Amino acid sequence: MVERHGRIPEFSEPGAVGRHAVFRDFARVPRLERNFLRMLFLDPQIRGRYTDWAPLARICVGFVRVTTNGHSEPRISSLIGELSLTDADFRTWWAEQHTSYETNGTKHLTHPDTGDYVLDWQVLQTLGEQQLLMVMTAPPQSDSLAVLRRLAGLADSGAGKSES
């Protein structure tokens, strides 16, 4: 689940597969560092899970730009500053002022225990716009459901390389 505290999307409590296997064990990530955009750019494990990282990351930068709508909440300013100083791609894309309100698509992911797979994604927003929920599903007629089941089994058993 992705929550929006103020105007910043953050990971909340993903299911066991998402929490341990698809991305990483979020219990090991300090709460204040669970921001999706921050992790997408600064966490090598999260970044490395996306085989299509650059186009997805650029969409995310545009999504944050349009959803923050010029608001200068301290947490947003701090996040933008941190990412601008530490990541050249973010700095370039933020300066371009590209906006994107894409709320669905396909993510191309990889995992060291299963290889490449795809997930369809959709962002749902509550009426009060206080919470975002990202839902990811295996596309029909793909091998992705079998991959997710294997990842769930690895997460349940504590095996696998999900933290490597």
pLDDT of residue 46: 86
Given a contact cutoff of 8 angstroms between Cβ atoms, the answer to whether 103 and 2 are in contact is: no
Q: Does some domain include residue 163? A: no
Give the number of other Cβ atoms within 10 Å of residue 134's Cβ: 18
pLDDT at 12: 44
- Please indicate, yes or no, if residue 162 is contained in any of the structural domains: no
Over the chain, what is the mean pLDDT? 78
Q: Cβ distance 146 to 119 under 8 Å?
A: no
- The total number of structural domains in the chain stands at 1
Among the listed ranges 1-5, 42-46, 59-63, 139-143, which one has the minimum average pLDDT value?
A: 1-5
pLDDT(152) > 50: yes
Question: In this structure, is residue 100 part of a structural domain?
Answer: yes
State mean pLDDT over 73-99.
90
Domain at 78, CATH number: 3.30.450.180
DSSP annotation of 96 reads T
pLDDT band at 86 (very low <50, low <70, confident <90, very high): very high
Q: Is residue 164 part of a domain?
A: no
Does residue 101 sit within a domain? yes
**pTM of the predicted model, to two decimals?**
0.73
Q: How far is CA 101 from CA 5, 67, 87, 104, in A?
A: 18, 8, 22, 9
Give, to the nearest 10 degrees, the angle between helix 88-95 and helix 53-68. Answer: 50
Kindly list the distances between the CA atom of residue 97 and the CA atoms of 41, 72, 100, 101, in Å, as whole numbers in the listed order.
17, 15, 10, 13
Q: Let me know if residue 136 belongs to a domain.
A: yes
Domain assignment of residue 60, given as a range: 2-157
Distance CA 40, CA 46 (A): 6
